[in-house]
Amino acid sequence: MTGELSPIDKAKYVAAKRSVDFIEDGMRVGLGTGSTAAWMVRCLGELVREDGLKIKGVPTSTRTAELAREVGIEVISLDEAKWLDVTIDGADEFDANLNLIKGGGGALLQEKIVATASDQMIVIADIGKEVEHLGAFPLPVEVIPFGWQTTKSLIEELLINMDVLGRDATLRMNGDRPFVTDEGNYIVDLHLARIGQPHRLSMALNQMPGVVENGLFLDICDVVILGFGDGRVETRDINDGSIAKDRIDFVESENLFADLDD
């Protein structure tokens, strides 16, 4: 229930709630992964069940697909959709140009494929995700398991010539085993502190054998919707430079908040 939510969860909820206002009947919608995106999927499901909204969702992970089906959203593959009207997803951090770091939840590959196959990408986040320079959040790099230690060493060597403050690279773990993505790959997290030239870094990483994709989402996001713990919402559109401010009242909804697993 909203009365039991922490300020950070309230911020995520109001951002998610505002984002579904962009969705119209007949749209093909990319459904992001993560705690904030889960609020969005729940809000969309409520519109499907209670208002008769007709959409088709393309999830970016198996757990998002499970949640979408659970709340009543029709789920299709990207191959079936071919192209999307909009993708709504969260972010681990973003800068003033709406460049992002994503992949904290391990779904960066599918998230980037879905986002770039959309007419518009909307990011929902709490105000704590805004940074002056990308890099405070570890940058995820998805690598194939074969030769991952060699790939990790090559990445560390690459970072010597990059405009970053830190160069530590760690294999993401799930207990005592490597974390495995939906595509069967590993993730190496780069602890860079600050990324001075994200475009250069992204291009260099993706040219390396063994690297599948990285978590820098550059020139992809169109709109960021920021939520605040007191119900305020700020919508920033990078294309027209507009900033809209609003407030969302919390409404208790058993259907929306029951059994939400962030």
Quick check: 258 pLDDT over 60? no
- Quick: pLDDT tens for 35-46: 999 999 999 999
Spans of all domains in the chain: 2-129+219-257, 139-211
DSSP secondary structure letter of residue 183: T
Please state, in angstroms and rounded to a whole number, the distance separating the CA atoms of residues 55 and 43.
13
CATH number of 2-129+219-257: 3.40.50.1360
> Could you give the residue numbers annotated as active site?
111
- Quick: pLDDT tens for 3-20: 578 999 999 999 999 999
Residue 76 half-sphere exposure toward CB, CA atoms < 13 A: 13
Tell me if residue 219 falls in helix, strand or coil. Answer: coil
> What average pLDDT does range 54-71 have in this prediction?
98
Please state, in angstroms and rounded to a whole number, the distance separating the CA atoms of residues 199 and 195.
10
Tokens of 34: 């993560």
- Residue count of the chain: 262
Fold of 139-211: Alpha-Beta Plaits (3.30.70)
Please state, in angstroms and rounded to a whole number, the distance separating the CA atoms of residues 123 and 143.
25
pLDDT at 261: 41
Q: Are 89 and 224 in contact (CB under 8 A)?
A: no
- Quick: pLDDT tens for 155-214: 999 999 999 999 999 999 999 999 999 999 999 999 999 999 999 999 999 999 999 999
Count each helix (H run) and each strand (E run) in the chain, helices first.
8, 17
Name the more confident of 238 and 257. Answer: 238
- Which of 242, 249, 5, 239 has its CA nearest to residue 119? 239
Quick check: 138 pLDDT over 50? yes
Question: What is the CB neighbour count within 10 angstroms for residue 94?
Answer: 23
Query: How far is C-alpha 234 from the geometric centre of its chain's CA atoms?
Result: 18
